[in-house]
């Protein structure tokens, strides 16, 4: 590949700056940002974006695209940025992803597209995520043309859940001329993008913008509408030609240790929802009770744990993570762990909670933990943590956030007849078409895969949209 | 005054001639009950509880109005007197919602719920912000065993008055002791309130029922502080209960330096009081109501910040002080200026002066209240003779800020100064810091520290001392504030404030250290004080769910009928909805009380017990609610059980209605038990009767049906021996946690399933957050998706109760925000026309006592 580049240069083509260092992302100072809810990375300038895009080798067989769950034409959009054609770059992105501004921010690029980047083998990979974000932000700020919508097909699809999977499928299907009605249980569309991922990682205006984009496509969004309660999937099937279930993994898991129902113990979902969606940090203007803590312990090592621990800092508290394995096994993105450490989150690794201590009013006062050591690898391939006997100790804290994952929300599986569900509560689907056991009903996202990432939900949403289109027109 | 001698209860007592018998007795340690007498008020004789028997005098005179005479023989505790006093108290309390006083479950209930419920209308002690300080309540326990307070309560139904700043008024609690208007007259001469109306409708009020602002009231708070009931209350302070500490201090919001009592609980200022009930000691609206709010303002500076490479970064104190010293040292003599408020304590001013003169060779400028910076400062900044400043307040305009090379802000809340400062040092204010204060007349007053600082803020005198120390000075070796005080020899008083805020609302100072007071205490905006805050007035929702009917059906219970077709279409008995009144509201669950699929409407019964339900209480027909989500929760299992007993209390009366209807339709024999504190709080009797085979009542004051609660009737039904009627097969109890829990205990031994609707705190209501987790059968369950209805015998009630109180403190705080005061212009039109006594009351259907069953 490198040889080819040199050859190109000799042929008088644009010279690639192979080996130029990657453009660093301008960021807020860690200590300032730990106290505010503004976004941490500030984004590339035009010049930085062009310089970074110019690093791309425009491989003939781009490996990066293979690494992307939604198969974005990465060399295509990066090349347009390198030529300064930013709006066109954004349009190119939109061909494959409904939410480039979101993915550019929250995707784990280092394990997906960027991990595959050829340049990364010898140098740093092209900063695909940052470029994606740049193009999407540029288009949002400068106005982008409306997408092409084919003529109406007369088919109606119910999309349940306005999160990443639902938005992707709704957008795809609407562009293909189907009438989309989206049902959202909460009072705002966006799903985990509005209740879960904090403002400093994903500004809510971006989600709002993308949702407005959906509305422009003619998608009708019914908030405050809980399918499985307000109406069931079976009732929807009487009115719609197809139903797409994208309700996510909205049932928090707890540790199952004594004292866990003490006041001050939150699921990460509740903790983040209070702050993000309900804006409790803006109490009393927003009425939801704020979380006032001296010390917040977050249990878990995933992205949600990092989000919670960093949110805690922004509530002006001390913030500690308790995780039972070591840093290397943390499932969170490296960048997020790094940000958390940089901002001052204390890491208590190889530590497992044993019980939660509370006072006579059932208010949490501390967490008894035990030290762990790593033993043999388990099914996941990660070394299994084993408790060290007699190493119990107490961390004093008044607030604990349990961020150890979510199970699928049971409302729809419980109320839909003939819908096959796994023993973990996930909806069983054909992995190619995302079709469920029920005719005309498709499912994707965390309700299918358990708790995973925004981009994998989007990838599945896209797959499902193709299959639904096929189902409706085939 | 000549001394005389008289005998009270067999004790010979010396007294000044002309002293009232009540005072003589009190001095001698003999307690005579009274409500209307007050040491700071002239004798009045309104309550007639202090009657005594004086030998040789006809009748039973009131001791508060009878002067002591030589040789008098007084009896205060005869049987006849006690009996008469009991009757008097009973009559007095017949016009005062007293359910709790005669409730057989009072002790258990108050143990279960140690703090009163933050209700809109007070319909019992358990809903009264004055409960912990109520002398009438104590008196009734002492004088009247419960059986002696038999007269049913007459609830007058007066509207709550909550559109004035600072105060809430609920005339339904008034016992006409006349203290409020007497103290108003004593302090202000021309009183803002007096007795209005006649006969049973007599109550305190303003001329023509004007707003207090319009009536000439200066908001000294004396009427609130002297009121023995919860009739008049301090909106922000009322739910804090009794203070754990009271400190005599000085208000330093203006150069007057008024003395006052500072009330604190857990180190937090909850309220302030004039230090004596006389004209000289009166406070202005700021001293009485705003002082506490300033301390508790949600927006404060909490940490030191230092600007490095353009970013303001939080730092440890030592580093911030060091940075301040380093930057200041870089300037030449005279290039620094110190700007602080004239109303600071003497010690703070002294240290600023000393720092300026001895360490910085700087000019120091003390800004008088309401003044701005030195007019010559702008000039000196322009010509470059001043390059750096230490500024202790919002005292600089944007131009000056931009011209400074170095700006150090020592302040308590953010302003343009601190936002642009190179170094921000958070300061404690008012009662958070100690010192002395020289008032405008030259007197030195003490300012003790009596509350905790916010975040990492420090007393200002220590900040100034530590800057000097960081600069290497050895002249600032003060350890305590007294070391500073003793060094001050010749300090000037601050310039007097041009106005008399204690007499005229229009002359209140609008600033504190250059900051608009209204930015920390929103209500003063209603008095015309300036604000810099850009407030988004919540606009009427245009999208959302239309309100078809909104009515307060009985005191404190609001019926809300809303258009929500998708909920109405799929609702089942036992389900609930989550409501957000506006986009800024909480998500709050309310049980569905009724619905109509044809009209697409749903009905809820909402009890006003806090900020969010107050938002509901203030809604109007035809308006909009931002969000209604539902139906949520598992429906009740409806089948033919046989005899089903429905127990309903409070909001539960609405909640059981659809369940009773369905149970009846399924062929059950339905017995409905309605519990209320008193007869006038029973609603939907007709509706419930339609769906019940039998309807029974229980009231806490015994005014209707069984004297007691649902639990007592459940007990009766279980042990009922009158043949024919089958024992109950299922119980359902919906109401407050105490009622449900008590009912469950009664049925536990019988093992008859007893379903309850749990009411934990919820956020999303769809299983996503787990806030509503409860322990049932030893397992953690989510009330929103697994419930809310569970078999009460399996519920961990202690856990539920504790989790419900998770935000008790915040809930009190929340009530002082997002509240009802309407802007004055909205009231102005109506104020003159109001005042017809029939318009000051709600038209409750059911407030005439029925005397017996």
- CB nearest to A270's CB, from B627, B771, B814: B771
What are the backbone dihedrals phi and psi of residue B600, each rounded to the nearest 5 degrees, phi first? 70, 30
Q: Do B818 and A267 touch (CB under 8 A)?
A: no
Beta bridge partners of B774: B781
In whole angstroms, give the CA distance from residue B670 to residue B91: 39
Coil, helix or strand at residue B753:
coil
Beta carbons within 8 Å of B835's beta carbon, 6+ residues apart: B196, B208, B209, B210
Closest residue, chain A, to B575 (C-alpha): A229
- CB nearest to B773's CB, from A261, A279, A284: A261
Closest residue, chain B, to A235 (C-alpha): B570
Pick the CATH number of A254-404 from 3.30.470.20, 2.170.140.10, 3.50.50.60, 3.40.50.150: 3.50.50.60
Beta bridge partners of B8: B11, B74
Q: Do B629 and A224 touch (CB under 8 A)?
A: yes
Average pLDDT over residues A314-330: 89
User: Model confidence over B733-756: pLDDT tens digits?
Assistant: 999 999 999 999 999 988 889 999
Q: Using CB atoms and an 8 Å cut-off, which of residues 285-344 of chain B contact chain A?
A: 298, 302-303, 308-309, 311-315
Beta carbons within 8 Å of B149's beta carbon, 6+ residues apart: B89, B90, B93, B98, B101, B102, B140
User: Model confidence over B644-660: pLDDT tens digits?
Assistant: 999 999 889 999 999 99
Omega before B631 cis (within 30°)? yes
In whole angstroms, give the CA distance from residue A196 to residue A211: 16
Coil, helix or strand at residue A317:
coil
Beta carbons within 8 Å of B695's beta carbon, 6+ residues apart: B671, B672, B673, B674, B685, B688, B689
Average pLDDT over residues A197-206: 86
Coil, helix or strand at residue A60:
coil
Q: Using CB atoms and an 8 Å cut-off, which of residues 597-616 of chain B contact chain A?
A: 611-612, 615
User: Model confidence over B602-643: pLDDT tens digits?
Assistant: 999 999 998 889 889 888 888 889 999 989 999 999 999 999
Q: Measured between CB atoms, does B626 come within 8 Å of chain A?
A: yes
Strands B643-649 and B669-676: parallel
In whole angstroms, give the CA distance from residue B755 to residue A150: 55
Give B-chain residues touching A270 at CB under 8 angstroms.
Answer: 763, 769-771
Least confident of A34-43, B45-54, B219-228: A34-43
Residue B534 pLDDT: 64
**Alpha-helical runs (H) found in A397-453:** 411-415, 446-449
Residue B149 or B32, more confident: B32
Q: C-alpha A78: how far from its chain's center?
A: 22
For chain B, report the end-to-end CA distance as a whole number of angstroms.
Answer: 59
Q: How far B514 CA sits from the closest chain A CA (Å)?
A: 24
Residue A8 pLDDT: 43
Average pLDDT over residues B45-52: 91
In whole angstroms, give the CA distance from residue B696 to residue B673: 5
Q: Using CB atoms and an 8 Å cut-off, which of residues 766-795 of chain B contact chain A?
A: 766-771, 773-775, 780, 785
Q: Which fold has domain A3-142?
A: Fumarate Reductase Iron-sulfur Protein; Chain B, domain 2 (1.10.1060)
Q: Measured between CB atoms, does B57 come within 8 Å of chain A?
A: no
User: Model confidence over B457-490: pLDDT tens digits?
Assistant: 999 999 999 999 999 988 899 999 999 999 998 8
User: Model confidence over A108-119: pLDDT tens digits?
Assistant: 888 889 988 988
> By the 8 A CB rule, do B618 and B524 touch?
no
Mean pLDDT of chain A: 87
- CB nearest to B768's CB, from A266, A269, A363: A269
Give B-chain residues touching A34 at CB under 8 angstroms.
Answer: 314
Closest residue, chain A, to B611 (C-alpha): A287
B830 has pLDDT over 70: no
Helices A128-142 and A46-53 cross at an angle (nearest 10°) of 140
Helices A86-94 and A74-82 cross at an angle (nearest 10°) of 170
Asked whether the domain spanning A254-404 has the same topology as the one spanning A3-142, the reply is no
Give A-chain residues touching B814 at CB under 8 angstroms.
Answer: 283-284, 287, 289
Beta carbons within 8 Å of B168's beta carbon, 6+ residues apart: B160, B161, B162, B232, B233, B234, B235, B238
The encoded tokens of residue B762 equal 């919820």
> By the 8 A CB rule, do B449 and B480 touch?
no
Q: Which fold has domain A156-250+407-473?
A: FAD/NAD(P)-binding domain (3.50.50)
User: Model confidence over A375-395: pLDDT tens digits?
Assistant: 888 887 788 899 999 999 999
A6 has pLDDT over 60: no
Average pLDDT over residues A162-189: 91
The encoded tokens of residue B60 equal 């039973």
Residue B535 banded pLDDT, cuts 50, 70, 90:
low
- CB nearest to B612's CB, from A224, A267, A287: A287
The encoded tokens of residue A473 equal 């027109």
Q: Where are the domains of chain A?
A: 3-142, 156-250+407-473, 254-404
Residue B839 banded pLDDT, cuts 50, 70, 90:
low
Average pLDDT over residues B379-398: 86
Average pLDDT over residues B783-808: 91
Strands B203-205 and B194-196: antiparallel
Q: Do A224 and B627 touch (CB under 8 A)?
A: yes
Give A-chain residues touching B308 at CB under 8 angstroms.
Answer: 29
Residue A17 pLDDT: 55
In whole angstroms, give the CA distance from residue B459 to residue B135: 39
B264 has pLDDT over 80: yes
A-B interface: how many C-beta pairs under 8 angstroms? Answer: 148
Q: Which DSSP letter does residue B81 get?
A: H
- CB nearest to A32's CB, from B312, B611, B818: B312
A357 has pLDDT over 90: yes
Q: Do B785 and A273 touch (CB under 8 A)?
A: no
Mean pLDDT of chain B: 88
Q: What is the DSSP string of B499-525?
A: S-TTT-GGG---EETTEEGGGT-GGGG
> By the 8 A CB rule, do A41 and A203 touch?
no
Q: Measured between CB atoms, does B584 come within 8 Å of chain A?
A: yes
- CB nearest to A287's CB, from B311, B313, B611: B611
Residue B727 banded pLDDT, cuts 50, 70, 90:
confident
User: Model confidence over B336-369: pLDDT tens digits?
Assistant: 999 999 999 999 999 999 999 888 888 888 888 8
In whole angstroms, give the CA distance from residue A183 to residue A221: 6
Residue A149 pLDDT: 79
Q: How far B110 CA sits from the closest chain A CA (Å)?
A: 16
Which pTM value belongs to this model?
0.87
Q: How far B554 CA sits from the closest chain A CA (Å)?
A: 26
User: Model confidence over B117-163: pLDDT tens digits?
Assistant: 999 899 999 999 999 889 899 888 888 776 677 788 888 888 888 88
Task: Name, of A283-297, B94-108, B835-849, the range with top average pLDDT.
Answer: B94-108
Closest residue, chain B, to A192 (C-alpha): B768
Omega before B788 cis (within 30°)? yes
Q: Report in angstroms the alpha-carbon separations of B685 from A96, A189, B708, B714.
A: 62, 42, 18, 19
């Amino acid at each position: 590949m490198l040889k080819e580049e040199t050859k190109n240069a000799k042929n008088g083509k644009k010279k690639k700056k192979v080996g130029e260092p990657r453009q660093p992302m301008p960021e807020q100072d860690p200590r300032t940002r730990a106290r505010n809810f503004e976004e941490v990375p500030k984004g590339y300038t035009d010049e930085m974006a062009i310089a970074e895009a110019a690093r791309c080798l425009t491989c003939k067989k781009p490996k990066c695209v293979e690494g992307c769950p939604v198969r974005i034409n990465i060399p295509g959009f990066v090349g347009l940025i390198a030529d300064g054609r930013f709006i066109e770059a954004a349009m190119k992105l939109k061909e494959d992803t409904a939410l480039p501004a979101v993915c550019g921010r929250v995707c784990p690029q280092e394990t997906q597209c960027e991990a595959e980047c050829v340049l990364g083998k010898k140098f740093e990979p092209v900063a695909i995520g940052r470029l994606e974000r740049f193009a999407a932000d540029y288009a949002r700020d400068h106005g982008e043309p409306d997408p092409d919508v084919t003529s109406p097909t007369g088919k109606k699809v119910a999309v349940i859940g306005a999160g990443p999977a639902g938005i992707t499928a709704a957008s795809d299907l609407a562009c293909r001329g189907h009438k989309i009605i989206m049902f959202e249980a909460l009072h705002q569309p966006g799903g985990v993008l509005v209740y879960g991922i904090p403002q400093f990682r994903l500004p809510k205006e971006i989600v709002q913008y993308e949702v407005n984009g959906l509305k422009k496509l003619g998608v009708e969004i019914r908030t405050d509408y809980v399918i499985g309660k307000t109406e069931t999937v079976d009732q929807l099937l009487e009115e719609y030609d197809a139903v797409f279930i994208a309700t996510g993994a909205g049932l928090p898991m707890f540790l199952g240790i004594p004292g866990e129902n003490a006041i001050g113990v939150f699921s990460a979902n509740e903790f983040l929802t209070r702050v993000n969606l309900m804006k409790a940090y803006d109490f009393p203007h927003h009425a939801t009770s704020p979380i006032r803590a001296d010390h917040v312990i977050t249990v878990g090592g995933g992205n949600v744990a990092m989000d919670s621990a960093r949110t805690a800092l922004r509530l002006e508290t001390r913030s500690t993570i308790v995780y039972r394995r070591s840093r290397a096994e943390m499932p969170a993105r490296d960048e997020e762990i790094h940000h958390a450490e940089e901002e001052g989150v204390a890491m208590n690794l190889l530590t497992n909670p044993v019980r939660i201590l509370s006072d006579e009013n059932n208010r949490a006062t501390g967490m008894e933990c035990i030290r762990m050591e790593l033993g043999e690898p388990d099914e996941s391939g990660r070394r299994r943590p084993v408790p060290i006997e007699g190493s119990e100790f107490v961390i004093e804290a008044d607030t604990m956030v349990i961020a150890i994952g979510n199970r699928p929300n049971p409302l729809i599986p419980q109320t839909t007849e003939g819908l096959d569900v796994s023993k973990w509560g996930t909806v069983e689907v054909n992995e190619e078409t995302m079709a469920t056991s029920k005719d005309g009903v498709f499912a994707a996202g965390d309700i299918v895969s358990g708790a995973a990432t925004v981009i994998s939900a989007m990838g599945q949403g896209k797959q499902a949209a193709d299959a639904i289109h096929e189902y409706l027109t085939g | 005054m000549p001394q005389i001698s008289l005998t009270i209860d067999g004790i010979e007592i010396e007294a000044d001639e002309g002293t009232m018998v009540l005072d003589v007795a009190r001095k001698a340690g003999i307690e005579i009950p009274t409500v209307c007498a007050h040491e700071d008020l002239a004798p009045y004789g309104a309550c007639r509880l202090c009657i005594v028997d004086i030998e040789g005098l006809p009748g039973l005179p009131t001791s508060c109005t009878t002067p002591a005479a030589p040789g008098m023989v007084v009896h205060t505790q005869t049987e006849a007197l006690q009996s008469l006093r009991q009757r008097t108290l009973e009559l007095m309390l017949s016009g005062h919602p007293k359910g709790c006083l005669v409730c057989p479950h009072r002790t258990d209930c108050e143990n279960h719920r140690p703090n009163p419920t933050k209700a809109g209308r007070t319909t019992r002690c358990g809903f009264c912000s004055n409960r912990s300080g109520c002398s009438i309540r104590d008196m009734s326990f002492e004088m009247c065993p419960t059986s002696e307070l038999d007269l049913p309560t007459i609830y007058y139904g007066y509207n709550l008055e909550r559109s004035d700043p600072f105060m809430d008024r609920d005339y339904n609690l008034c016992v006409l002791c006349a203290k409020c208007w007497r103290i108003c007259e004593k302090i202000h001469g021309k009183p803002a309130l007096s007795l209005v109306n006649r006969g049973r409708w007599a109550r305190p009020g303003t001329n023509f029922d004007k707003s207090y602002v319009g009536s000439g009231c200066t908001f000294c708070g004396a009427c609130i502080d002297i009121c023995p009931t919860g009739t008049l209350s301090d909106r922000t302070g009322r739910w804090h209960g009794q203070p754990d500490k009271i400190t005599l201090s000085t208000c330093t919001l203006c150069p007057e330096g008024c003395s006052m009592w500072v009330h604190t609980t857990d180190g937090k200022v909850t309220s302030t009081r004039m230090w004596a009930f006389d004209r000289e000691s009166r406070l202005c609206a700021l001293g009485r109501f705003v002082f506490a709010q300033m301390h508790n303002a949600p927006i404060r500076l909490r940490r030191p910040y230092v600007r490095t490479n353009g970013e303001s970064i939080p730092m440890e104190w030592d580093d911030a002080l060091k940075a301040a010293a380093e930057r200041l040292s870089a300037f030449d003599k005279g290039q620094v200026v110190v700007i602080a408020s004239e109303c600071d304590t003497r010690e703070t001013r002294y240290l600023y002066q000393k720092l300026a003169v001895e360490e910085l060779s700087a000019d120091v400028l003390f800004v008088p209240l309401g003044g701005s910076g030195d007019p010559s400062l702008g000039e000196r900044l322009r010509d470059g003779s001043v390059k750096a400043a230490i500024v202790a307040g919002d005292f600089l305009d944007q131009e000056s800020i931009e011209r400074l090379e170095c700006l150090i802000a020592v302040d308590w809340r953010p302003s343009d100064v601190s936002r642009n400062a190179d170094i921000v040092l958070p300061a404690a204010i008012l009662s958070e810091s100690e010192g002395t204060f020289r008032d405008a007349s030259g007197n030195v007053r003490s300012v003790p520290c009596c509350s905790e600082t916010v975040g990492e803020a420090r007393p200002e005198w220590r900040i100034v001392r530590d800057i000097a120390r960081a600069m290497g000075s050895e002249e600032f070796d003060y350890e305590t504030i007294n070391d500073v005080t003793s060094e001050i020899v010749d300090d000037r008083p601050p310039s007097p404030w041009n106005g008399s805020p204690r007499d005229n609302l229009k002359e209140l100072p609008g600033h504190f250290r250059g900051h608009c007071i209204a930015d920390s205490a929103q209500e003063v905006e209603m008095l015309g004080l300036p604000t810099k805050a850009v407030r988004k007035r919540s606009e009427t929702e245009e999208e959302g769910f239309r309100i078809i009917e909104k009515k307060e059906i009985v005191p404190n219970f609001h019926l809300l009928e809303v258009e929500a077709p998708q909920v109405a279409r799929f609702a089942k008995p036992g389900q609930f909805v989550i409501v957000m009144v506006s986009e800024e509201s909480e998500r709050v669950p309310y049980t569905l009380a009724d619905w109509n699929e044809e009209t697409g409407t749903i009905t809820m019964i909402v009890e006003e017990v806090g900020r969010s339900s107050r938002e509901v209480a203030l809604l109007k027909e035809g308006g909009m609610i931002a969000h209604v989500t539902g139906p949520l929760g598992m429906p009740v299992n409806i089948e033919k059980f046989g005899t089903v007993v429905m127990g309903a209390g409070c909001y539960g009366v609405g909640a059981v209605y659809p369940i009773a209807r369905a149970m009846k339709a399924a062929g059950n024999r339905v017995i409905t038990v309605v519990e209320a504190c008193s007869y006038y709080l029973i609603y939907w009797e007709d509706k419930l009767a339609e769906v019940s085979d039998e309807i029974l009542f229980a009231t806490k004051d015994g005014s209707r049906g069984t004297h007691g609660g649902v639990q007592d009737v459940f007990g009766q039904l279980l042990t009922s021996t009158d043949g024919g009627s089958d024992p109950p097969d299922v119980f359902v109890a919906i109401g407050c946690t105490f009622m449900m829990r008590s009912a469950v205990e009664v049925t536990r031994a019988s093992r008859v399933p007893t379903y309850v609707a749990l009411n934990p705190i919820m956020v999303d209501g769809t299983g996503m957050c787990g806030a509503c987790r409860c322990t049932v059968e030893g397992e953690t369950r989510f009330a929103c998706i697994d419930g809310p209805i569970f078999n009460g015998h399996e519920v961990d009630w202690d856990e539920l109760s504790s989790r419900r109180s998770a935000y008790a403190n915040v809930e009190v705080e929340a009530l002082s925000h997002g509240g009802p005061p309407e802007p004055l212009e909205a009231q102005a039109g109506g104020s003159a026309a109001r005042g017809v006594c029939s318009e000051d009351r709600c038209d409750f259907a059911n407030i005439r006592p029925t005397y017996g069953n």
